Amino acid sequence: MAETTMQPKENRLLGLLPEDEYAAVVAHLEPCAIPRGFIIAPADAIIEHAYFPCAGIGSVINISPEGNRVEAGLFGRDGFAPAAAVVGASISVPEVAVQVPGFAYRLRQNTLLDLMNTQPVFASLLHKAVYVLATQAGFTALSNAVHEIDERLARWILMCHDRIDGNELALTHEFIALMLAVRRPSVTTALHLLEGYRFIRSVRGLVIVRDRAGLEDFASDAYGKAEDEYERLIGPLRKSKRGPNDIPSPRPA
């Protein structure tokens, strides 16, 4: 069993449960580390557990019959995965994998379904989380169709930034390219552009957010609608626009 000082309530869904429901759910939770690359749910495989991260970021990845891969959604301590677990589906069609390592608590799927039948707030929060993840996936599809790679990258960095402590994201160019379904040179070019505006600093395997407000302004309508819906239905998600370590940036002309 993994050791941690993190409590289940550091997952935002679990933290919103009333005391009696929290106690009922916690009694069945199993703590586990989720290292980078850990597969929460293999594609087209039987679902065994639902995971509730307290730290780290996971990706929902659709895989074509030819093996092409693209990220459809991401989640962290704001949610859980796989989404199919709450409807009693035995199979997860997408792969769910960890991209930023962290820690989670997990429930066996049959236990999850039993708890949903007896704990109404728990069931309601899970249903809302599934809906907002679907909303996020819809806006990802829209962004892929209408926005340039640099705006899509800004959106994706903001979404990751919302789900971590601090300003450092341990992400490689190769992984970002996979998640955005673009070639690695396109990611490198877009990172250099964002770095030139001082929104971020990019070093090997690390993206550091320097100017959150500038990044949001640059992302424009690529970012925000799915986050609005999460906050309307569940609770706070986004970081403040200006953090104590932010460095004001010159704005793009």
Residue 1, pLDDT score: 40
Let me know if residue 245 belongs to a domain. no
Contacts of 143 (CB under 8 A, 6+ apart): 151, 152, 155, 222
- One domain for residues 149 and 91: no
Both tokens assigned to 228:
């609005």
Let me know if residue 56 belongs to a domain. yes
> What type of residue sits at position 26?
V
Tally of domains in the chain = 2
- One domain for residues 28 and 114: yes
For residue 64, give the DSSP letter. Answer: -
Angle at 147 between CA 77 and CA 100, to 5 degrees: 25
Which of 89, 120, 151 corresponds to the end of one domain?
120
- One domain for residues 13 and 114: yes
- One domain for residues 111 and 147: no
Residue 30, pLDDT score: 97
- One domain for residues 107 and 191: no
Both tokens assigned to 145:
């169709």
Let me know if residue 244 belongs to a domain. no
Percent of the chain exceeding pLDDT 70 equals: 93
- One domain for residues 115 and 199: no
pTM: 0.92
- One domain for residues 109 and 158: no
**For each of the chain's 253 residues, which pLDDT tens digit applies?**
445 679 999 999 999 999 999 999 999 999 999 999 999 999 999 999 999 999 999 999 999 999 988 899 999 999 999 999 999 999 999 999 999 999 999 999 999 999 999 999 999 999 999 999 999 999 999 999 999 999 999 999 999 999 999 999 988 888 888 778 888 899 999 999 999 999 999 988 899 999 999 999 999 999 999 999 999 999 999 998 754 445 544 545 4
Residue 2, pLDDT score: 45
Let me know if residue 251 belongs to a domain. no
- One domain for residues 106 and 160: no
Q: What is the CATH number of the domain that holds 153?
A: 1.10.10.10
Residue 165, pLDDT score: 93
Domain with 109, as residue range(s), is 8-120
3-state secondary structure of 54: strand
Let me know if residue 246 belongs to a domain. no
- One domain for residues 32 and 94: yes
Q: Rounded distance, CA 39 to CA 193, Å?
A: 32
Q: What is the CATH number of the domain that holds 37?
A: 2.60.120.10
- Please state, rounded to an integer, the average pLDDT across all residues of the chain: 92
Residue 200, CA distances (Å) to 111, 132, 224 in order: 43, 27, 19
- One domain for residues 55 and 112: yes
Both tokens assigned to 168:
């450092």
Longest dimension (CA), the chain: 56
- One domain for residues 170 and 212: yes
Backbone angles phi, psi at 79, to 5 degrees: -150, -150
Q: Rounded distance, CA 92 to CA 186, Å?
A: 31
3-state secondary structure of 74: strand
> What type of residue sits at position 81?
A
Let me know if residue 63 belongs to a domain. yes
DSSP per position, 118-157:
H-HHHHHHHHHHHHHHHHHHHHHHHHHHHS-HHHHHHHHH
Cβ atoms 157, 210 nearer than 8 A: no
Let me know if residue 250 belongs to a domain. no
Q: Rounded distance, CA 156 to CA 162, Å?
A: 10
Let me know if residue 136 belongs to a domain. no
Angle at 74 between CA 37 and CA 19, to 5 degrees: 100
